[in-house]
Amino acid sequence: MTHLVFMYHGLDPHDGRYDALSDAEKSYVLSRETFAAHLDALEQAGRHCMGADEVWGKEAVGETLLTFDDGWKSDYDVAFPLLRAKGVSAIFFITTDWVGTPGYVTWEQLREMADAGMGIGSHGKTHRFLSTLTPLEQRLELADSRKVLEEKLGREIRALSLPGGRSNADTLATARDCGYKTVFTSSPGLPVALGGLWMVGRIAMRPNWTAEKMRVFLDDPQRTLRRMYATALVKRLAEKTLGAKRYDAVHRIFWRWKKR
Ligand SMILES: [Zn+2]
């Protein structure tokens, strides 16, 4: 079976909590119903979403994995109950400075999720993009967030998801030195062993991933993935050629143009 790792962010239970977000932020929020339908579609396709223990046992990732970035409040009050009802697990990547602030999960909620078998990983301390930081600043982001998660949750933290999906030449070695075993990116790609750890690509879930789109995708993932890998490659090349700052500017213009 094709290896699939999905990247979610907030899930909207229609209580107005996401109303104040910018359009860019909203472009990563799915409705509660859509996520529930995704879980149904995965089950119908015979896909078992790996539990955190199974994943860490293999030091890499298995066949199907659900991940959530940032530590939104909906991780606890929307995703967690739906996952539990299905008896499946997911990994939640937490930006540690955001824990307990309005709109985000609390340490108590994270402990409850971890105790129920959910995986917890780091998404940095402040969510600053690592690509914009010096090696020392990157080390502080990655070491501090891992340390506070381990202290608060009483378990080893082995996975990191890159804020904004951004990294530079120092990031992998820094993550490895800080004790991470797996680094999750934000663009699709097969897991690769690199520099002493695993780099794992993910498929970004956006509101246009309706229940129907998920069903069609799961019917023949390879067909869509081939196109996604090609797009991700072009994006990486553009970023390399333009430099991260200029690439961001071009990307913003492109999205404004596409939305018209
Ligand atoms: Zn993030």
Segment 30-71, tens digit of pLDDT: 999 999 999 999 999 998 887 666 565 454 455 789 999 999
CA–CA distance, 176 with 101 (Å, rounded to integer): 29
Task: State in Å: Cα 75 to ligand 1 middle.
Answer: 13
Residue type (1 letter), 246? R
The region, left, alpha or beta by phi > 0 then psi within -120 to 50, assigned to residue 46 is left
Please tell me the predicted confidence (pLDDT) of residue 58: 52
Give 81 Cα–ligand 1 centroid separation in angstroms.
Answer: 22
Rounded distance from Cα 28 to ligand 1 centre (Å): 10
Using left for φ > 0, alpha for ψ between -120 and 50, and beta otherwise, residue 59 falls in: left
Q: Is the per-residue pLDDT at 127 higher than 70?
A: yes
Dist. CA 98 → ligand 1 center (Å): 11
pTM of the complete model: 0.89
pLDDT tens figures, 164-176: 999 999 999 999 9
For residues 39 and 84, the answer to whether their CB atoms sit within 8 Å is no
